[in-house]
Chains A and B, each alone.
Chain A
Amino acid sequence: MTIAGDFSVKQAPVVGWSEVDGREAALVRRCASGEEAAYAELVADHQRMIVQLAMNLLGDRDEALDLSQEVFLRVFRTIHNFRGHSSLRTWIYRIAVNQARNRHRFWRRRHRADQVSLDAHVATHGDFLTGHEAGPDRVLAQKELAARLQSALDHLPFDQRTAIVLREVDGLSYEEIAYSLGVAVGTVKSRLTRARQALRLELREAHEERSA
Protein backbone atom coordinates (compact mmCIF):
# COMPACT_ATOMS: atom_id res chain seq x y z
CA MET A 1 0.00 0.00 0.00
CA THR A 2 1.37 3.39 -0.94
CA ILE A 3 0.29 6.34 1.09
CA ALA A 4 1.36 9.92 0.64
CA GLY A 5 3.18 11.60 3.47
CA ASP A 6 0.35 13.89 4.57
CA PHE A 7 -2.00 12.43 7.14
CA SER A 8 -4.90 13.91 8.92
CA VAL A 9 -5.80 13.50 12.54
CA LYS A 10 -9.30 12.16 12.96
CA GLN A 11 -11.96 14.59 14.04
CA ALA A 12 -13.82 13.91 17.24
CA PRO A 13 -17.59 14.15 16.94
CA VAL A 14 -19.43 17.04 18.52
CA VAL A 15 -21.13 15.91 21.70
CA GLY A 16 -24.65 17.13 22.43
CA TRP A 17 -27.42 16.30 24.88
CA SER A 18 -28.58 13.50 22.63
CA GLU A 19 -25.20 11.83 22.91
CA VAL A 20 -24.84 12.20 26.65
CA ASP A 21 -25.68 8.98 28.39
CA GLY A 22 -29.32 8.84 29.48
CA ARG A 23 -28.46 7.94 33.04
CA GLU A 24 -25.96 10.79 33.13
CA ALA A 25 -28.53 13.27 31.85
CA ALA A 26 -30.99 12.12 34.49
CA LEU A 27 -28.30 12.45 37.14
CA VAL A 28 -27.59 15.99 36.02
CA ARG A 29 -31.27 16.89 36.21
CA ARG A 30 -31.58 15.41 39.68
CA CYS A 31 -28.52 17.32 40.87
CA ALA A 32 -29.88 20.53 39.37
CA SER A 33 -33.09 20.00 41.33
CA GLY A 34 -31.06 19.74 44.55
CA GLU A 35 -31.50 16.05 45.31
CA GLU A 36 -28.90 15.04 47.85
CA ALA A 37 -28.84 11.41 46.78
CA ALA A 38 -27.92 12.56 43.30
CA TYR A 39 -25.04 14.61 44.70
CA ALA A 40 -23.75 11.54 46.49
CA GLU A 41 -24.09 9.49 43.33
CA LEU A 42 -22.20 12.01 41.23
CA VAL A 43 -19.40 12.20 43.77
CA ALA A 44 -19.16 8.43 43.95
CA ASP A 45 -18.94 8.18 40.17
CA HIS A 46 -16.19 10.73 39.69
CA GLN A 47 -14.28 11.13 42.93
CA ARG A 48 -11.43 8.78 42.05
CA MET A 49 -10.75 10.39 38.73
CA ILE A 50 -10.80 13.91 40.20
CA VAL A 51 -8.69 13.13 43.25
CA GLN A 52 -6.20 11.32 41.04
CA LEU A 53 -5.98 14.23 38.60
CA ALA A 54 -5.65 16.76 41.42
CA MET A 55 -2.92 14.67 42.99
CA ASN A 56 -1.07 14.33 39.70
CA LEU A 57 -1.24 18.04 39.05
CA LEU A 58 -0.52 19.31 42.54
CA GLY A 59 1.59 16.52 44.02
CA ASP A 60 0.30 17.01 47.55
CA ARG A 61 -2.37 14.71 48.93
CA ASP A 62 -4.01 17.14 51.34
CA GLU A 63 -4.09 19.87 48.73
CA ALA A 64 -5.46 17.39 46.19
CA LEU A 65 -8.27 16.28 48.52
CA ASP A 66 -9.16 19.85 49.34
CA LEU A 67 -9.10 20.83 45.69
CA SER A 68 -11.27 17.85 44.78
CA GLN A 69 -13.88 18.89 47.30
CA GLU A 70 -13.81 22.39 45.86
CA VAL A 71 -14.28 20.92 42.40
CA PHE A 72 -17.41 19.04 43.41
CA LEU A 73 -18.83 22.06 45.23
CA ARG A 74 -18.24 24.07 42.08
CA VAL A 75 -19.88 21.33 40.02
CA PHE A 76 -23.00 21.42 42.19
CA ARG A 77 -23.14 25.21 42.16
CA THR A 78 -22.97 25.37 38.38
CA ILE A 79 -24.56 22.16 37.24
CA HIS A 80 -27.65 24.02 36.07
CA ASN A 81 -25.34 25.58 33.44
CA PHE A 82 -24.35 22.20 32.05
CA ARG A 83 -25.80 22.00 28.55
CA GLY A 84 -24.39 18.70 27.42
CA HIS A 85 -21.88 20.19 25.01
CA SER A 86 -19.43 17.65 26.36
CA SER A 87 -19.70 14.57 28.45
CA LEU A 88 -20.22 15.18 32.15
CA ARG A 89 -16.82 13.66 32.84
CA THR A 90 -15.06 16.09 30.51
CA TRP A 91 -17.00 19.01 31.96
CA ILE A 92 -15.88 18.04 35.45
CA TYR A 93 -12.32 17.66 34.19
CA ARG A 94 -12.50 21.19 32.88
CA ILE A 95 -13.58 22.53 36.25
CA ALA A 96 -10.85 20.53 37.97
CA VAL A 97 -8.17 21.83 35.61
CA ASN A 98 -9.29 25.42 36.13
CA GLN A 99 -9.28 25.01 39.89
CA ALA A 100 -5.87 23.35 39.80
CA ARG A 101 -4.50 26.12 37.59
CA ASN A 102 -5.76 28.74 40.05
CA ARG A 103 -4.19 26.92 42.94
CA HIS A 104 -0.95 26.44 41.04
CA ARG A 105 -0.79 30.21 40.43
CA PHE A 106 -1.47 30.79 44.11
CA TRP A 107 1.42 28.53 44.99
CA ARG A 108 3.76 30.08 42.45
CA ARG A 109 3.10 33.54 43.84
CA ARG A 110 4.19 32.28 47.22
CA HIS A 111 7.30 30.51 45.87
CA ARG A 112 6.21 27.21 47.24
CA ALA A 113 8.82 24.52 46.70
CA ASP A 114 7.44 22.16 44.12
CA GLN A 115 10.06 19.47 44.28
CA VAL A 116 9.77 16.38 46.37
CA SER A 117 12.67 14.10 47.01
CA LEU A 118 12.41 10.50 45.91
CA ASP A 119 12.46 9.26 49.49
CA ALA A 120 9.72 11.67 50.49
CA HIS A 121 7.75 10.73 47.42
CA VAL A 122 7.98 7.03 48.18
CA ALA A 123 7.24 7.62 51.85
CA THR A 124 4.11 9.56 50.95
CA HIS A 125 2.79 7.56 48.05
CA GLY A 126 4.30 4.18 48.55
CA ASP A 127 6.34 2.06 46.22
CA PHE A 128 5.09 2.50 42.71
CA LEU A 129 6.40 -0.51 40.85
CA THR A 130 5.31 -4.06 41.37
CA GLY A 131 8.14 -6.47 41.58
CA HIS A 132 6.94 -8.96 39.02
CA GLU A 133 9.52 -7.88 36.47
CA ALA A 134 12.86 -8.53 38.04
CA GLY A 135 15.11 -8.32 41.00
CA PRO A 136 15.98 -5.45 43.31
CA ASP A 137 18.48 -3.83 40.93
CA ARG A 138 15.95 -3.40 38.21
CA VAL A 139 13.29 -2.20 40.63
CA LEU A 140 15.72 0.39 41.99
CA ALA A 141 16.60 1.51 38.48
CA GLN A 142 12.93 1.88 37.64
CA LYS A 143 12.38 3.92 40.78
CA GLU A 144 15.19 6.25 39.88
CA LEU A 145 13.92 6.60 36.34
CA ALA A 146 10.41 7.32 37.53
CA ALA A 147 11.71 9.90 39.99
CA ARG A 148 13.68 11.63 37.25
CA LEU A 149 10.65 11.72 34.99
CA GLN A 150 8.51 12.97 37.82
CA SER A 151 10.99 15.74 38.47
CA ALA A 152 11.09 16.63 34.76
CA LEU A 153 7.30 16.62 34.71
CA ASP A 154 7.18 18.95 37.70
CA HIS A 155 9.40 21.40 35.85
CA LEU A 156 7.15 21.55 32.82
CA PRO A 157 4.84 24.53 32.43
CA PHE A 158 1.46 23.86 34.03
CA ASP A 159 -0.43 23.68 30.73
CA GLN A 160 2.02 21.17 29.22
CA ARG A 161 1.97 19.09 32.39
CA THR A 162 -1.81 19.09 32.44
CA ALA A 163 -1.99 18.06 28.81
CA ILE A 164 0.40 15.14 29.24
CA VAL A 165 -1.29 13.98 32.45
CA LEU A 166 -4.74 14.11 30.87
CA ARG A 167 -3.47 12.16 27.86
CA GLU A 168 -1.05 9.63 29.34
CA VAL A 169 -2.61 8.99 32.73
CA ASP A 170 -6.29 9.77 32.30
CA GLY A 171 -6.45 8.71 28.66
CA LEU A 172 -8.48 11.67 27.38
CA SER A 173 -8.72 12.24 23.64
CA TYR A 174 -7.27 15.36 22.04
CA GLU A 175 -10.76 16.79 21.74
CA GLU A 176 -11.53 16.18 25.39
CA ILE A 177 -8.21 17.67 26.48
CA ALA A 178 -8.89 20.71 24.32
CA TYR A 179 -12.28 21.18 25.98
CA SER A 180 -10.83 20.66 29.45
CA LEU A 181 -8.09 23.20 28.88
CA GLY A 182 -10.26 25.57 26.89
CA VAL A 183 -7.89 25.59 23.90
CA ALA A 184 -7.87 24.34 20.30
CA VAL A 185 -6.94 20.78 19.39
CA GLY A 186 -3.84 22.06 17.59
CA THR A 187 -2.68 23.69 20.79
CA VAL A 188 -3.14 20.44 22.63
CA LYS A 189 -1.02 18.60 20.06
CA SER A 190 1.79 21.14 20.27
CA ARG A 191 1.74 21.06 24.08
CA LEU A 192 1.84 17.28 24.08
CA THR A 193 4.72 17.29 21.61
CA ARG A 194 6.78 19.72 23.67
CA ALA A 195 6.06 17.88 26.91
CA ARG A 196 6.98 14.54 25.39
CA GLN A 197 10.18 15.92 23.93
CA ALA A 198 11.29 17.10 27.36
CA LEU A 199 10.39 13.81 29.03
CA ARG A 200 11.93 11.66 26.31
CA LEU A 201 15.14 13.64 26.61
CA GLU A 202 15.21 12.85 30.31
CA LEU A 203 14.45 9.23 29.54
CA ARG A 204 17.32 8.98 27.06
CA GLU A 205 19.76 10.60 29.44
CA ALA A 206 18.75 8.18 32.16
CA HIS A 207 19.26 5.21 29.83
CA GLU A 208 22.64 6.52 28.70
CA GLU A 209 23.80 6.97 32.30
CA ARG A 210 22.70 3.47 33.13
CA SER A 211 24.49 1.94 30.16
CA ALA A 212 27.66 3.99 30.71
Chain B
Amino acid sequence: MNGIRCTDARRRLQAFHDHELPVSDQIAIGGHLEDCAGCSAELAELVELRTILRSSMPGRTALAAGDDTSFQEAVLGRLNAEHTLSFGVRVREMFEDMHLVYAGLGAAAAAVVCAAIMLGMMPFGASQGPGSNQNPVAVNPFVRMPRPIDEPFSTARTPQGDSLFMLAAVVTREGRVEHLEHLAVENTDSWPASTDAEQAKLLEDLMGAVAKARFEPASVGAAPVAVNMVWIVAHTTVRASPVGFNFGRPTFPATPLKRQA
Protein backbone atom coordinates (compact mmCIF):
# COMPACT_ATOMS: atom_id res chain seq x y z
CA MET B 1 0.00 0.00 0.00
CA ASN B 2 1.24 3.53 -0.71
CA GLY B 3 -0.34 5.34 2.24
CA ILE B 4 -3.60 6.42 0.63
CA ARG B 5 -6.64 5.33 2.53
CA CYS B 6 -9.45 3.58 0.69
CA THR B 7 -11.98 6.28 1.62
CA ASP B 8 -9.74 8.94 0.05
CA ALA B 9 -9.11 6.80 -3.00
CA ARG B 10 -12.81 6.05 -3.52
CA ARG B 11 -13.71 9.69 -3.13
CA ARG B 12 -11.42 10.41 -6.07
CA LEU B 13 -12.13 7.28 -8.02
CA GLN B 14 -14.50 8.87 -10.51
CA ALA B 15 -12.12 11.75 -11.21
CA PHE B 16 -9.34 9.14 -11.63
CA HIS B 17 -11.55 7.16 -13.98
CA ASP B 18 -12.29 10.32 -15.96
CA HIS B 19 -8.62 11.38 -16.05
CA GLU B 20 -9.50 14.63 -14.34
CA LEU B 21 -6.89 14.42 -11.55
CA PRO B 22 -3.51 16.09 -11.69
CA VAL B 23 -0.81 13.71 -12.90
CA SER B 24 0.72 13.16 -9.45
CA ASP B 25 -2.67 12.26 -7.96
CA GLN B 26 -3.42 10.08 -10.93
CA ILE B 27 -0.23 8.13 -10.30
CA ALA B 28 -0.91 7.89 -6.56
CA ILE B 29 -4.42 6.55 -6.99
CA GLY B 30 -3.23 4.18 -9.69
CA GLY B 31 -0.64 2.81 -7.26
CA HIS B 32 -3.29 2.32 -4.58
CA LEU B 33 -5.54 0.48 -6.99
CA GLU B 34 -2.79 -1.99 -7.81
CA ASP B 35 -2.71 -3.06 -4.18
CA CYS B 36 -6.37 -2.66 -3.13
CA ALA B 37 -8.85 -5.23 -4.38
CA GLY B 38 -11.90 -3.39 -3.02
CA CYS B 39 -11.09 -0.14 -4.75
CA SER B 40 -10.16 -2.01 -7.92
CA ALA B 41 -13.58 -3.63 -7.88
CA GLU B 42 -15.18 -0.21 -7.61
CA LEU B 43 -13.14 0.97 -10.58
CA ALA B 44 -14.04 -2.16 -12.50
CA GLU B 45 -17.71 -1.25 -12.05
CA LEU B 46 -17.09 2.18 -13.49
CA VAL B 47 -15.20 0.71 -16.40
CA GLU B 48 -17.93 -1.84 -17.06
CA LEU B 49 -20.54 0.88 -16.91
CA ARG B 50 -18.69 2.94 -19.50
CA THR B 51 -18.16 -0.07 -21.73
CA ILE B 52 -21.80 -1.02 -21.68
CA LEU B 53 -22.99 2.52 -22.27
CA ARG B 54 -20.62 3.06 -25.18
CA SER B 55 -21.60 -0.18 -26.80
CA SER B 56 -25.34 0.01 -26.22
CA MET B 57 -26.35 3.62 -26.59
CA PRO B 58 -28.70 4.07 -29.52
CA GLY B 59 -26.72 6.97 -30.94
CA ARG B 60 -23.95 4.77 -32.31
CA THR B 61 -26.20 3.60 -35.16
CA ALA B 62 -28.15 6.79 -35.70
CA LEU B 63 -26.34 7.86 -38.84
CA ALA B 64 -25.36 5.09 -41.22
CA ALA B 65 -22.44 5.52 -43.59
CA GLY B 66 -24.66 6.44 -46.53
CA ASP B 67 -26.72 8.93 -44.56
CA ASP B 68 -23.99 11.56 -44.27
CA THR B 69 -24.62 13.16 -47.62
CA SER B 70 -28.38 13.11 -47.33
CA PHE B 71 -28.20 14.70 -43.89
CA GLN B 72 -25.95 17.46 -45.23
CA GLU B 73 -28.30 18.05 -48.12
CA ALA B 74 -31.27 18.19 -45.76
CA VAL B 75 -29.59 20.80 -43.57
CA LEU B 76 -28.49 22.94 -46.50
CA GLY B 77 -31.92 22.57 -48.08
CA ARG B 78 -33.61 23.85 -44.95
CA LEU B 79 -31.08 26.64 -44.72
CA ASN B 80 -31.79 27.70 -48.29
CA ALA B 81 -35.54 27.46 -47.72
CA GLU B 82 -35.20 29.61 -44.64
CA HIS B 83 -33.14 32.12 -46.58
CA THR B 84 -35.66 32.14 -49.41
CA LEU B 85 -38.48 32.93 -47.03
CA SER B 86 -36.55 35.53 -45.11
CA PHE B 87 -37.94 39.06 -44.93
CA GLY B 88 -35.29 40.67 -47.10
CA VAL B 89 -35.78 38.21 -49.89
CA ARG B 90 -39.54 38.67 -49.75
CA VAL B 91 -39.09 42.44 -49.98
CA ARG B 92 -36.86 42.03 -53.03
CA GLU B 93 -39.48 39.78 -54.60
CA MET B 94 -42.12 42.44 -54.06
CA PHE B 95 -40.12 44.84 -56.20
CA GLU B 96 -39.68 42.37 -59.02
CA ASP B 97 -43.17 43.16 -60.40
CA MET B 98 -43.25 46.96 -60.71
CA HIS B 99 -46.98 46.97 -61.48
CA LEU B 100 -47.69 46.15 -57.88
CA VAL B 101 -45.20 48.76 -56.74
CA TYR B 102 -46.87 51.47 -58.85
CA ALA B 103 -50.31 50.47 -57.60
CA GLY B 104 -49.07 50.57 -54.03
CA LEU B 105 -47.40 53.93 -54.51
CA GLY B 106 -50.55 55.35 -56.14
CA ALA B 107 -52.72 54.15 -53.29
CA ALA B 108 -50.28 55.55 -50.76
CA ALA B 109 -50.17 58.93 -52.55
CA ALA B 110 -53.98 59.07 -52.70
CA ALA B 111 -54.20 58.33 -49.01
CA VAL B 112 -51.69 61.10 -48.24
CA VAL B 113 -53.61 63.63 -50.38
CA CYS B 114 -56.91 62.71 -48.69
CA ALA B 115 -55.35 63.07 -45.30
CA ALA B 116 -53.87 66.46 -46.23
CA ILE B 117 -57.25 67.70 -47.50
CA MET B 118 -59.00 66.56 -44.36
CA LEU B 119 -56.40 68.20 -42.16
CA GLY B 120 -56.66 71.40 -44.21
CA MET B 121 -60.44 71.52 -43.81
CA MET B 122 -60.47 70.94 -40.12
CA PRO B 123 -59.66 74.57 -39.12
CA PHE B 124 -62.50 75.87 -41.33
CA GLY B 125 -64.92 73.43 -39.83
CA ALA B 126 -63.92 74.42 -36.34
CA SER B 127 -64.01 78.22 -36.93
CA GLN B 128 -67.33 78.28 -38.77
CA GLY B 129 -69.31 76.40 -36.19
CA PRO B 130 -72.27 78.02 -34.36
CA GLY B 131 -71.06 80.82 -32.13
CA SER B 132 -67.91 81.54 -34.13
CA ASN B 133 -67.15 85.05 -35.33
CA GLN B 134 -68.09 83.99 -38.85
CA ASN B 135 -71.31 82.34 -37.69
CA PRO B 136 -72.73 84.28 -34.73
CA VAL B 137 -75.82 83.00 -32.97
CA ALA B 138 -78.97 84.82 -31.97
CA VAL B 139 -79.32 85.58 -28.29
CA ASN B 140 -81.58 83.10 -26.58
CA PRO B 141 -82.28 82.11 -22.96
CA PHE B 142 -79.31 79.76 -22.97
CA VAL B 143 -76.87 82.48 -24.00
CA ARG B 144 -75.45 84.76 -21.35
CA MET B 145 -75.76 88.29 -22.70
CA PRO B 146 -72.67 90.37 -23.53
CA ARG B 147 -72.09 93.06 -20.93
CA PRO B 148 -70.48 96.39 -21.72
CA ILE B 149 -67.16 97.23 -20.22
CA ASP B 150 -67.32 100.89 -19.20
CA GLU B 151 -70.15 102.94 -20.70
CA PRO B 152 -69.93 102.74 -24.48
CA PHE B 153 -72.62 105.24 -25.28
CA SER B 154 -71.87 107.91 -22.71
CA THR B 155 -69.67 109.83 -25.07
CA ALA B 156 -72.45 110.27 -27.61
CA ARG B 157 -73.67 113.75 -28.09
CA THR B 158 -77.17 114.38 -26.82
CA PRO B 159 -79.64 115.43 -29.56
CA GLN B 160 -81.84 118.45 -29.11
CA GLY B 161 -85.11 116.87 -30.17
CA ASP B 162 -86.58 113.36 -30.19
CA SER B 163 -84.65 110.81 -32.12
CA LEU B 164 -84.71 107.06 -32.68
CA PHE B 165 -81.87 104.86 -34.01
CA MET B 166 -81.77 101.15 -34.59
CA LEU B 167 -78.28 99.61 -34.79
CA ALA B 168 -77.32 96.03 -35.64
CA ALA B 169 -73.89 94.51 -34.98
CA VAL B 170 -72.03 91.34 -34.06
CA VAL B 171 -70.37 91.13 -30.66
CA THR B 172 -67.47 88.80 -31.29
CA ARG B 173 -65.97 86.16 -29.02
CA GLU B 174 -63.32 88.70 -28.15
CA GLY B 175 -65.94 91.29 -27.14
CA ARG B 176 -65.43 93.62 -30.12
CA VAL B 177 -68.26 95.14 -32.16
CA GLU B 178 -68.14 94.24 -35.82
CA HIS B 179 -70.38 94.64 -38.87
CA LEU B 180 -72.06 97.62 -37.31
CA GLU B 181 -75.06 98.81 -39.35
CA HIS B 182 -77.75 101.38 -39.00
CA LEU B 183 -81.15 99.84 -39.62
CA ALA B 184 -84.03 101.88 -40.97
CA VAL B 185 -86.75 102.70 -38.49
CA GLU B 186 -90.32 102.47 -39.53
CA ASN B 187 -93.36 104.28 -38.18
CA THR B 188 -91.63 107.33 -36.76
CA ASP B 189 -94.68 109.57 -37.15
CA SER B 190 -95.34 109.71 -33.48
CA TRP B 191 -91.71 110.57 -32.86
CA PRO B 192 -91.07 114.19 -33.74
CA ALA B 193 -87.53 114.03 -35.00
CA SER B 194 -84.94 116.79 -35.22
CA THR B 195 -83.54 117.94 -38.56
CA ASP B 196 -81.99 115.44 -40.96
CA ALA B 197 -78.54 116.99 -40.69
CA GLU B 198 -78.70 116.87 -36.95
CA GLN B 199 -79.81 113.24 -37.03
CA ALA B 200 -77.02 112.33 -39.47
CA LYS B 201 -74.46 113.93 -37.20
CA LEU B 202 -75.90 112.20 -34.20
CA LEU B 203 -75.92 108.88 -36.01
CA GLU B 204 -72.29 109.28 -36.99
CA ASP B 205 -71.27 110.07 -33.41
CA LEU B 206 -73.34 107.24 -32.04
CA MET B 207 -71.92 104.66 -34.45
CA GLY B 208 -68.42 105.84 -33.69
CA ALA B 209 -69.02 105.43 -29.99
CA VAL B 210 -70.63 102.02 -30.40
CA ALA B 211 -67.85 100.80 -32.71
CA LYS B 212 -65.28 101.60 -30.03
CA ALA B 213 -67.25 99.89 -27.29
CA ARG B 214 -65.85 96.78 -25.66
CA PHE B 215 -67.96 93.99 -24.20
CA GLU B 216 -67.50 91.02 -21.99
CA PRO B 217 -68.44 88.47 -24.66
CA ALA B 218 -71.61 86.43 -24.57
CA SER B 219 -71.16 82.87 -23.46
CA VAL B 220 -72.82 79.49 -23.46
CA GLY B 221 -71.65 77.67 -20.39
CA ALA B 222 -68.05 78.78 -20.08
CA ALA B 223 -67.40 79.09 -23.80
CA PRO B 224 -67.54 82.56 -25.36
CA VAL B 225 -69.74 82.86 -28.44
CA ALA B 226 -70.31 85.58 -31.00
CA VAL B 227 -73.86 86.90 -31.06
CA ASN B 228 -76.00 89.10 -33.26
CA MET B 229 -77.21 92.19 -31.43
CA VAL B 230 -79.71 94.94 -32.26
CA TRP B 231 -79.81 98.15 -30.25
CA ILE B 232 -82.66 100.61 -30.35
CA VAL B 233 -81.46 103.97 -29.12
CA ALA B 234 -84.23 106.52 -28.50
CA HIS B 235 -83.96 110.04 -27.25
CA THR B 236 -87.25 111.42 -26.02
CA THR B 237 -88.03 114.85 -24.63
CA VAL B 238 -90.50 114.64 -21.79
CA ARG B 239 -92.45 117.72 -20.81
CA ALA B 240 -94.37 118.01 -17.61
CA SER B 241 -98.08 118.79 -17.78
CA PRO B 242 -100.57 119.46 -15.03
CA VAL B 243 -102.78 116.64 -16.25
CA GLY B 244 -100.25 113.96 -15.65
CA PHE B 245 -96.97 112.50 -16.62
CA ASN B 246 -96.19 110.92 -19.91
CA PHE B 247 -93.09 108.87 -19.57
CA GLY B 248 -92.92 108.38 -23.26
CA ARG B 249 -91.32 105.36 -24.64
CA PRO B 250 -88.63 103.82 -22.56
CA THR B 251 -85.22 103.06 -23.88
CA PHE B 252 -85.35 99.49 -24.95
CA PRO B 253 -82.74 97.21 -23.69
CA ALA B 254 -80.72 95.36 -26.21
CA THR B 255 -83.19 93.00 -27.76
CA PRO B 256 -82.13 89.77 -29.40
CA LEU B 257 -83.22 89.91 -32.96
CA LYS B 258 -82.16 87.84 -35.87
CA ARG B 259 -79.60 89.71 -37.83
CA GLN B 260 -80.74 90.58 -41.30
CA ALA B 261 -78.46 90.00 -44.18
Contact = CB atoms under 8 A, between A and B. Distances in A.
A116 B21 CA distance: 37
A39 interface: yes
Nearest to B28: A3
Given A7-B25, A44-B72, A199 B49 contact: yes
A129 B50 CA distance: 14
Contacts of A167: 18
A174 B193 CA distance: 121
B261 interface: no
Contacts of A126: 61
A43 interface: yes
Nearest to B16: A7
A40 interface: yes
Contacts of A5: 4-5, 7-8, 11
A76 B82 CA distance: 11
Dominant SS at the A interface?
A: helix
B162 interface: no
Given A3-B3, A52-B63, A61-B62, A8 B25 contact: yes
A168 B21 contact: no
Contact of A3 (B25, B48, B71): B25
Interface residues of A, number: 59
A91 interface: no
A76 B81 CA distance: 14
Contact of A43 (B22, B31, B53, B71): B71
A149 B58 contact: no
B151 interface: no
A9 B58 CA distance: 31
B250 interface: no
B4 A165 contact: no
A64 B74 CA distance: 14
A203 B31 CA distance: 26
B59 A64 contact: yes
B36 to A, nearest CB: 14
A101 interface: no
Shortest beta-carbon contacts, A-B, top 9: A52-B59, A5-B8, A146-B56, A55-B59, A55-B62, A2-B3, A56-B59, A128-B56, A7-B25
Interface of A: 1-3, 5-10, 36, 39-40, 43-44, 47-48, 51-56, 59, 61, 64-65, 68-69, 72-73, 76, 121, 124-126, 128-129, 142, 145-147, 149-150, 153, 164-165, 167-169, 173-174, 189, 192-193, 196, 199-200, 203-204
30 contacts: A2-B2, A5-B4, A6-B8, A7-B12, A7-B21, A7-B28, A9-B20, A9-B22, A10-B21, A10-B22, A47-B63, A52-B57, A54-B62, A55-B57, A55-B58, A56-B59, A64-B62, A69-B71, A69-B74, A69-B75, A121-B58, A124-B58, A125-B61, A142-B52, A146-B52, A150-B57, A150-B58, A169-B54, A169-B57, A200-B46
